[in-house]
A and B are shown apart, each in its own frame.
Chain A
Amino acid sequence: MKKNKNKSDELDLIDISEFMDEDVPTPKPKKKKKKRNIEVNVITYGFLALFISLSVYFGYFLTFSSEEFINNPYNARINQMSKSTIRGNILSADGEILAGTNVDEEGKETRVYPYGNTFSHIIGYDTNGLMGVELDANFYLLRSHDFILNRVLNDFQNKKSQGDTVITTLDASLQEATYTAMSGYEGAVFAIEPSTGKILCCISKPDFNPNVIAYNYDSFATDSESSVFLNRATNGLYPPGSTFKIITSLEYLNEGGSVEDEFDCKGKLADEDYTMHCVNNKSHGHQTLREAFGNSCNVAYAQVGLSLDRASFAETANQLLFNETLPSKLSNSKASSFTLSPEDKNPRVMQTAIGQGKTLVTPMHMALIASAICNDGDLKVPYVVEKVENLNKVEVKSFESEDYGQILTEAQANELEELMRYVVTDGTASALNTDDYTVYGKTGSAEYTSNKDDTHSWFVGYAKDGDKEIALAIVLEGAGSGSKHAVPLAKVMFDEYFNEQ
């Protein structure tokens, strides 16, 4: 009896080879018993495979995909981390402190934003809920990768450890220069580096001072008219005006048109009971598509619009990411909208072709289109958090540039580039024509009420100087024409960006 007892835990799992030679007589009678177990073996290995895949998935989740869940605003555990960690700093790409934590002698912590209103929306705040980078990088700011012994020592002394530093892609001097030049305006600016998707500058006005947000929060939050907390650069929906002619031109060229095709402009064009005017009823006369783009001739573009296949036009807009959430590492952004169907009447088509009608865009979206044109049609996903370091500047985590893919072919991008260059050399943005760098763009004056004199001032474009590139979109609410307001602001930005070391 004793002898048998020891056998009890021997596994009877057999390997495949044992039931391959079914017909060969086995010398030992004991083996016979095992042959009855093929089915049980199948089931056992089946369950074993299930459990192995379960374990692999579990390990994968813990290692790779858990962060997206940890850094979720619903995860109450993050706030608990602040009990043992001093919230880390947020820096610009050029090393300026955009947000930091002051600790007084009694251990009371205050979040400070040295630049005040300048970075209000993109950096955000960390009281009354979270916003901006403060929200998106919350988890990293509350984690400490301080030297392990220091942390153990802090534990003993009941002291907090210093949270990690989050380094952004933002260009502090560009942001500051742009912000200063925007004084007196409301609206938004969004600028990125086309080759990487790094967000260089993001401004939305009206703005707020994050240093005193705790006191002003309620009045801002209840003021629905100026919607101070809305980041207009990513979530503001504006009529694109003439900047939309970039997309209309693309569709025209797609359908076999050429930049040399000629149009006649007598200052106005009537169809059904609607009349389209050029600005100040100016007659542009006989001109090519290139010239019409450069002069922003509405009559020529109304004709272009009427010649287009409407379903295909809508498809092209969708290919340029209309009607969908934009690719971005920011926690939220609004989708632009564009609709056009074969049943639409001619006046609607004429308006749509020049960026009026029902089309609405965000400044970020227009900047992304400009960025893709600059980058031979390839779009990079915009991101603002570059890397995370511990307090000794040792890198903890870095974020790579991510490719979204071609939203235009290289040929399409080059044709649009030619048109956008003409706007600067011979058209409405000639103020940007300089030897210091090369600018490509499109101006716009978007009507937003029935009063034709009330227009948002737009500039969408990019500039290159050697390897250095920047794509941007500017919208100044109710400021007037694109050439008069948005273009000078673009000049300030380009000058600042290309003069930096």
Chain B
Amino acid sequence: MLHLITTISKYTILILFALYTYESFAVLRPGMKPKRKEWIYKKQKALTYLLLLNANAVLLCVTMDVRVLFMAVAEIVFLSIATMVYSKIYDGASILVLNNMNILLGIGFVILTRLDVDRAIKQFVIAIIALIVTVLIPVFISKLKFLNKLSFLYALIGILLLGIVALAGKSEYGAKLNLSLGPVSVQPSEFVKIIFVFFVAAILYDYEELYEVLYATVVALLHVGLLVASRDLGGATIFLITYLCMLYVATKKVWIILGGAGLCAVGGYFAYKLFSHVQTRVIAWLDPISVIDKEGYQVSQSLFAIGTGGWFGSGLGEGMPGKIPVVSKDFVFAAISEEFGGAFALCLIFVCINCMLMFFNISMSIHDTFFKLIALGLAVEYASQVFITIGGVIKFIPSTGVTLPLVSYGGSSLLSTMIVFAVIQGLYMKRNEEESEIEDEKE
């Protein structure tokens, strides 16, 4: 009987999420009437809640743990509050970005509840804190005038934090990522990522002399170097790509993209030649089965999970995602694909693409160059992080160990991603002001 519930639910959950994904792209069609858009957003919200109710009902049957029931109620209350805050208080915030954030958070809660109820509760508490912390960020972004003047401060904080991690960080799976502050462990690079974008934007938005570009480049490479020293290769790659993209947009020089690609290739080659841990990652990528006892174990287990789950998944609680090391963090995508199915996981990729498009969208439509660069930097960071983590999990590229934003377990990752989403909402508000100013001028 239990099996029947999970089997039916895996199809209903897939249908709900597929509909959601469809709507998130349908709403982008040009020339859509505002009434119709609002209707689609309402449908999306309803689909999100239904998905959460359905998944949590299955989890309740599987675990018979009463905490799941509380979690389900708490999640829905939480998402309703988040929706209210953004759509009622912030004028001009993107409801699509908000809905996407909500459903990604929801899927994260569900899969974490499945993997480890304690961790899910912890994650949920962090999400509440993050919502409170980020509630004023959109207002700051749209109102504070001096954010583009603090480049030195941004650089100082970023390098200081990364430097401390490189020296005193806690080693985990071969990479130094975390700092222990009493009972909590923080991953500073998650926050430096945001500050870094502000730094680059503050230098490049109004640069006049070449030395300014050189200054930005040196500081950016210092960030990357410190991350390499901490063996955080995924992080280093994200910083490097982000800087190159921002530089390209600020200077409009095509050779930066080509030169940057060349630089990445050369850098990758030397990293491969010089570091044994890079070589093992590459071997584990090319043929994980051949080194399944060691380096290939994680990727192999991930592919077993995804493959055995197939297109429609095993159903919640029916798979064995616990076999994958670090499943709740870097490999959460494999757990989702195994139990919800490959079709569901594909929809998840598309929702992430949708978020990315909305990030790039605000970069294109906002007038202020400083904020344009910020939106671009955050978009590139988000997109490369999603690409690197999913690509690593499915063996498309070598696995480098980064989290899936909003879905993976991890306080720093969750908090920093919610800050990013809040900044983006602030930019949508900012654009709203710009547009009304233009209208005012016309009149």
Contact = CB atoms under 8 A, between A and B. Distances in A.
A8 interface: yes
The DSSP consensus for interface residues of chain A is: helix
A59 B396 CA distance: 12
A61 B394 contact: yes
B317 interface: no
Given A9-B95, A11-B357, A58-B346, A39 B249 contact: yes
Interface in A30-82: 33-34, 37-44, 47-48, 50-51, 53-55, 57-59, 61-63, 66-67, 69-70, 72, 74-78, 80
Interface stretch (B70-78, B194-202, B277-285, B428-436): B428-436
Contacts of A6: 34, 37
Contacts of B4: 152, 155-156
Contacts of B384: 47
B323 interface: yes
Given A8-B94, A9-B95, A47 B383 contact: yes
A70 B301 CA distance: 10
A66 B383 contact: no
Given A4-B439, A13-B364, A43-B376, A155 B307 contact: no
Interface residues of B, number: 69
A372 B390 CA distance: 45
A12 B346 CA distance: 25
B391 A11 contact: no
B342 A5 contact: no
A11 B358 CA distance: 7
Nearest to A139: B308
B304 A54 contact: no
A149 interface: no
B105 interface: no
Q: For chain A, give the interface size range.
A: 35 or more
Contacts of A393: none
Contacts of A80: 320
A5 B349 contact: no
A55 B349 contact: yes
B363 A66 contact: no
B91 A5 contact: yes
A65 B350 CA distance: 22
Given A4-B92, A54-B387, A61 B307 contact: yes
A221 interface: no
B1 to A, nearest CB: 7
A9 B30 CA distance: 10
B219 to A, nearest CB: 21
B53 interface: no
A156 to B, nearest CB: 7
B348 to A, nearest CB: 11
Contacts, number: 161
Contacts of B353: 48, 51
B357 A13 contact: yes
A10 B95 CA distance: 12
The DSSP consensus for interface residues of chain B is: helix
A253 B153 CA distance: 81
Given A77-B319, A77-B320, A80-B320, A47 B304 contact: no
A67 B353 CA distance: 28
Given A1-B436, A40-B363, A76-B320, A70 B307 contact: yes
Contacts of A50: 383, 387
Given A50-B387, A54-B396, A10 B30 contact: yes
B364 A40 contact: yes
Interface string B187-230: 00000000000000000000000000000000000000000000
Given A9-B27, A9-B358, A58-B349, 20 more contacts: A4-B435, A8-B93, A9-B37, A9-B95, A9-B96, A12-B361, A12-B364, A34-B364, A38-B252, A40-B363, A43-B360, A44-B357, A47-B387, A55-B346, A67-B307, A69-B304, A72-B289, A77-B323, A80-B320, A152-B4
Q: Which 9 residue pairs spanning A and B have beta carbons closest together?
A: A66-B307, A6-B34, A12-B364, A75-B304, A44-B360, A62-B342, A39-B249, A77-B308, A37-B364
27 contacts: A1-B91, A1-B432, A8-B428, A8-B432, A9-B28, A10-B361, A11-B361, A13-B357, A38-B252, A39-B249, A40-B360, A43-B245, A47-B356, A47-B360, A47-B383, A57-B394, A58-B342, A58-B346, A61-B395, A66-B303, A69-B289, A72-B300, A74-B300, A76-B304, A84-B3, A155-B3, A155-B4
